[in-house]
Structure 1
Amino acid sequence: MSPDSATPTLPSMPDVVSGEPRPPAAPRELRGDCPTPRRRNQRGHPPVPESEGPVLEWVQDTVWDQWKAVFFGFALVAALAFANTGWGWLTDLSDPGVQVIWAFFPIFGAVMWQLSRSHWCAAGASWVQHGKNWVSTYELTSIDFGIDGVKRVLRVADSSGREIRSLSLRDVQVNAKLWDLTYNGILHSLHSGKCEISPRALAVLKLENTVPASAVPARVRRPYFAIGFWIGAIALASFLIYSFVSDSDAPSQMLPIGVFIVVLALWASRRTIEQYRRDVRMAERMSSSRR
């Protein structure tokens, strides 16, 4: 039976005020669960779409999470300082360059504190919000998957033109009930006939045998940008290696950094091409099921 010929019974949409009945558990990548705090109030979050119903589930960094982000920022600055000066940034405090490095510690710490403080993910019965942006989960028109830095993210848009360009899967799935609400809306949107989902998002969300084949576009975007980025990285790394070989006074760190970038770029390029081929095969399989 093709996906288009099956019309599964979808869980009902919860009441926008009470959130009942709650949708069934949705498949997640994460094993643990970070439920909505009941003994801690929300603090300093962006405005929520109260006209669409109250917040039912939410995730927000604690003060301890913010301090961990600051410590991570300190560690990153220290690692970069060591890569450039060795242990000189600890011993030669009279050097103006070292003083600049030390000035970066409080600056970077403050930035990491603020970034962690602004972390917010919430859901109502019919909407999901990440940071300042929110979408109506039952009126989605497009769902895509991407990588934002080190995060695996969904890129979603609804019929009113609202979009979330970086809906972190970890942020939205760490709270199981929050993800259940979001996932139920995704299912309804895909079966409405007005929403498209990319082959990669389809695989990540484990929806291959659930959604209509017509929801998957037959054409897959080629990863020109990603491949171009990694080619540029290889060119930069090659320059670092050449500079190290041709200049006896070049810093010793240039060679291992250059080699690392080349290896990383080659590995990432291969993964990108393999993923593109998998997406094409899935799109072709879904397309053939329409016939």
Structure 2
Amino acid sequence: MNEPQKTESDLTVVEIPVTDLVPGRYQMRTVFQDNGLAESIRNQGIIQPIVARGECPPYEIIAGERRCRAAKAAGLELVPVILRNDLDERQAATFGLVENIQRHAFNPIEEAKSYEMLAIKFGLTHEMIATDTGVSRTQITNTLRLLKLSDTIQSLIIDGSLSGGHAKTLTTLNPAAQEGFAKRAIREGWSVRKLEEEVAKLKALLAPKPPKSAVSEQPLSIDANRLGMEVGEKLGLPVKLKWTEGRGGVFEITVFSVDDADRVVAKLLSAVADKPDR
């Protein structure tokens, strides 16, 4: 999609009552921090006009909702606006998204939801979104994976407790392990690199070990490695089943924190409580 080219003379700035502007229908941004913008606008005015569309009030904001909010807070009655009624729906949605990306205004979850909106609303592939926005297809795909994280983790990303780099590392874990690692990363102040190292350690522990060679042993009646891995996947922790034929076995669960231990105990108690009496 190529946005219609406009010359400077085409982009007419008009003064519009700030109360005649409403948020855009494709705005995925939910966090608007003032950071002194209202005071700056009160003293210097709005330097970059708001972009909106509409033939009459109310005008829908395409780009500049934060400036509009700050103008209201500053007590302005009129604001400079460029009306872009030449944009179709897809172009309008992409215009606002690109401005937020260029201004680094999005948190990672807002950016992911914006890509998701373009994909669902307009039936766009990741490649098409990349062409429209100028963002690489790989980054779009990786960012969209953040929406598979739990609501709890997404909230930690939105409030800044976890960075986008932390979040992308967490997406490589199964859901059972994600929250435990997220809490540890915050509690212990892990960098993205440190989180990557800890995740790699977990994956190494969970990886199936090569079979021992040499002496031929009597085959076990159960697949201890498989059962250990299945339990580990459920718990999100390294689990081994040490089995002795004719005597039974022991599950060994490796935990990395008190939270991990509490979570394992809670799961075991829940499983016992749900088991019907015989």
- Alignment TM class, shorter chain as reference: under 0.3
Max Rg structure:
2
TM (normalized to structure 1)?
0.21
Tell me the TM-score normalised to structure 2 length.
0.22
If asked which structure has higher relative contact order (CA below 8 Å, sep 6+), I would say 1
